[in-house]
Amino acid sequence: MDRVVISAVLFLVVLAYGVRARPSRGYEEYIWEHLPELLDRLQRLDYADEPIINSLEPRVVPHWPNGVKVGQVGGVAVDPINGDVLIFHRGEREWGYNSFVGDEFAPGQSTIKNDTILRLDRTTGQILDSFGADRFYMPHGLTVDNAGNIWVTDVALHQVMMFPRGSHEPSDIVLGTAMTPGSDDDHFCKPTDVAVASNGDFFVSDGYCNGRIMKFSKDGNLLKQWGKRSTGNTGPLSEDEFFVPHSLALIEARNIICVADREHGRIQCFSAGMNGTEAGQFVRSFDNKEFGKVFAIAYDNNGPEEAIYLVSGPIPNAYLFKINLNGQILYRTEPPNRMLGDNFEGFGQPHDIAVSHDGRDIYTGEIVPKRILKFRQM
């Protein structure tokens, strides 16, 4: 908050108390004499029970996480139980032109030696826990469900797996055949993301090759699938035609699952099939030429209205958007130029986004540069 804004706010406060409360000295001198005490009190206010009003563009929280080094960030998520921030990154590995031969991971590459899953303190950014070394080949999507279980996708393994809360080992839910792409009911081809309902049912966006959405029961049994891979024709797109379904956002109260149709630059929403209804029925589309390629989406029901956050890219069309459920763009923003001493202007290639449970904080993970950013709603 700059000096002009602070002065204006305090001046109005003084006026609110009436003429007798006004200082006899100049307002500026009075304000700056008492400013440290006021700011200290403001810092100690607890807004935890207050609804956040997302009316202004968010600001990047500087030096968060301070000193934490990551590789290309595939996924970012927030633990709804305690607010911890989780990162799924690629360590020393980079996804390059020679990483795959067709749909299969190029031979001769070992597992990533770094811990690929990091748990960070939401306030300090310090690493609270880490694991995943020697398990993954090309990390991609990351989700934390309401019970605190961690769900990940690996596009090289062509698998989806769930880690129970507190465990560094996957549960019995490991879907897909390792290193084997496919398009039948038992295989994935570079799956990208997972969304989990409160009853345990979950959705998988599959993915770079197949262009479909798959819904499973909590036990991992396939319930429904829909969608098809885009043919690349220049004519009108069908509602369930995907060119890399890259990210998912479940709006359970509305019985809607939304899909970031990355290369088509749109968000497609379908019925989620909750409470006995049929999944996969088209509901609506968010399609705006300003979006560019839509890499990731996140839903937030805080503030004066429900909203969807999305990140687009790559540069020069890399931004963080906030839209309402009518499709209106509420803001478009990016990190400040040359921030944090990295000499990188704005976003490079944002890849995933997550929103804190109270809607106050937004987290983005990037492929280029390799970093995680925290935005605070003002």
Strand 371-376 relative to strand 361-368: parallel, antiparallel, unpaired? antiparallel
Transcribe 233-276 into DSSP letters: -SSPPPTTEES-EEEEEEEGGGTEEEEEETTTTEEEEEEE-GGG
Residue 16 lies in a domain: yes
Residue 354 lies in a domain: yes
pLDDT in tens, the chain (378 residues): 443 334 444 433 433 333 333 333 443 443 444 444 444 434 433 333 333 334 578 999 999 998 999 999 999 999 999 999 999 999 999 999 999 999 999 999 999 999 999 999 999 999 999 999 999 999 999 999 999 999 999 999 999 999 999 999 999 999 999 999 999 999 999 999 999 999 999 999 999 999 999 999 999 999 999 999 998 777 889 999 999 999 999 999 999 999 999 999 999 999 999 988 999 999 999 999 999 999 999 999 998 899 999 999 988 899 999 999 999 999 999 998 644 455 567 899 999 999 999 999 999 999 999 999 999 997
Query: Edge-to-edge, what's the strand order for the sheet holding 139-144?
Result: 139-144, 150-154, 159-163, 174-175
Residue 50 lies in a domain: no
Same domain, 232 and 333: yes
Q: With b meaning 16 or more CB within 10 Å and e meaning fewer, what string describes 196-235? A: bbeebbbbbbbbbbbbbbbbbeeeeeeeebbbebbeeeee
Residue 188 lies in a domain: yes
Same domain, 107 and 251: yes
Query: Which region, left, alpha or beta, applies to residue 200 given φ > 0 means left and ψ of -120 to 50 means alpha?
Result: left
Give the domain extent around 18. Answer: 3-43
Count CB-CB contacts under 10 A for residue 346.
17
Same domain, 11 and 106: no
Residues 170/178, Cβ–Cβ less than 8 Å: no
Same domain, 149 and 281: yes
Same domain, 175 and 323: yes
- Nearest by Cα to 218 from 280, 171, 178, 185: 171
Residue 107 lies in a domain: yes
Residue 53 lies in a domain: no
Residue 52 lies in a domain: no
Q: Residue 88's pLDDT is what?
A: 99
Give the distance between the most distant pair of CA atoms in the chain: 80
The CA distance from 284 to 326, in Å, is 10
Transcribe 87-125 into DSSP letters: EEE-TT----TTSEETTEEPTT-----S--EEEE-TTT-
CATH of residue 222: 2.120.10.30
Same domain, 227 and 253: yes
Same domain, 89 and 226: yes
Same domain, 209 and 334: yes
Same domain, 100 and 240: yes
Same domain, 39 and 151: no
Same domain, 31 and 77: no
The amino acid occupying position 237 is L
Q: Residue 232's pLDDT is what?
A: 77
30 secondary structure, DSSP code: H
Cis peptide leading into 65, omega within 30 of 0?
yes
Same domain, 106 and 219: yes
Q: Residue 344's pLDDT is what?
A: 66
Residues 83/95, Cβ–Cβ less than 8 Å: no
Q: Residue 315's pLDDT is what?
A: 86
Domain count along the chain: 2
Residue 181 lies in a domain: yes
Point out which residues pair with 7 in neighbouring strands.
none
Q: Residue 302's pLDDT is what?
A: 92
Q: Residue 18's pLDDT is what?
A: 39
